[in-house]
């Protein structure tokens, strides 16, 4: 009887552990809830940044929407950095910080160990139709939205086949418009933008 009780007890405990793992995994696999007042911005739509980010006439723009407090954002810092290192000469990279915390440009640059521009204006996210972090946005030299979506199907960004941002960037730079992305790429996954941003 006692042995049976112990076995039952251990089964309950180990089931609890299983539930913990499953629940955390399931929670992160859900898409980010769409904000109630969200204004959709379609691909190829012209983005008006009101000269908040200046580029030369021939320069396209890669915006990385980043929140240091968001675990998902932190997951792919290395991946973003690899993109900058690889394509830094072909496109202008910039980081848009969407955080409730106060950071300086230098602090953000130190986190990535990059010297690319850092912006704290949340209206940029609204203009681009971004409502989660991390998100990648590619704007061509005509200010048209080429890509807005996730970096990867997984949180860890190790899946080469689903490195959506990289694939978008490569097709953009090679003028290959034939690449199409599924919902896993375009439907925003990750952390919600904090409601109160200073």
Interface positions with another protein (CB under 8 A): 2, 6, 9-10, 13-14, 16-17, 20-21, 24-26, 29, 71, 74-75, 154-156, 158-161
Q: Nearest distance from residue 159's CB to another protein, in Å?
A: 7
Nearest CA among 153, 190, 171, 173 for reference residue 60: 173
User: Shortest approach of another protein to residue 100 CB, angstroms?
Assistant: 15
Between 67 and 135, name the residue whose CB sits nearer to another protein: 67
- For residues 59 and 151, what is the distance between their CA atoms, to the nearest angstrom? 22
Q: Give the nearest distance from C-beta 16 to another protein in angstroms.
A: 5
In angstroms, the CA 128 to CA 117 distance is: 17
Q: In this complex, which beta carbon is closest to another protein, that of residue 75 or of residue 146?
A: 75
| Closer residue to another protein, CB minimum distance, 38 or 156 | 156
**Secondary structure of the chain: what % helix, strand, coil (to 5)?**
40, 15, 45
Peptide bond between residue 134 and the one before it cis (omega within 30 degrees of 0):
yes
Minimum distance of another protein from residue 193's CB (angstroms): 17
């Amino acid at each position: 009887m006692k042995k049976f009780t112990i076995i039952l007890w251990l089964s309950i405990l180990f089931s609890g552990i299983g539930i913990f793992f499953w629940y955390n995994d399931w929670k992160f696999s859900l898409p980010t809830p769409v904000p109630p007042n969200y204004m959709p911005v379609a691909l190829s739509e012209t983005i008006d940044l009101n000269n908040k980010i200046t580029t030369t006439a021939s320069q396209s723009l890669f915006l990385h929407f980043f929140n240091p407090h968001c675990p998902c954002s932190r997951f792919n810092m290395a991946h973003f950095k690899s993109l900058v290192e690889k394509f830094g000469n072909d496109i202008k990279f910039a980081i848009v910080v969407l955080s409730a915390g106060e950071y300086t440009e230098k602090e953000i640059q130190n986190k990535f160990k990059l010297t690319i521009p850092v912006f704290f204006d949340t209206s940029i996210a609204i203009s681009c139709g971004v409502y989660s972090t991390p998100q990648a946005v590619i704007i061509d030299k005509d200010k048209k939205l080429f890509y807005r979506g996730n970096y990867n199907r997984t949180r860890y960004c190790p899946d080469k086949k689903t490195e959506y941002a990289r694939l978008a960037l490569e097709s953009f730079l090679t003028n290959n418009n034939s690449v199409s992305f599924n919902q896993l790429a375009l439907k925003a996954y990750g952390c919600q933008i904090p409601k109160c941003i200073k």
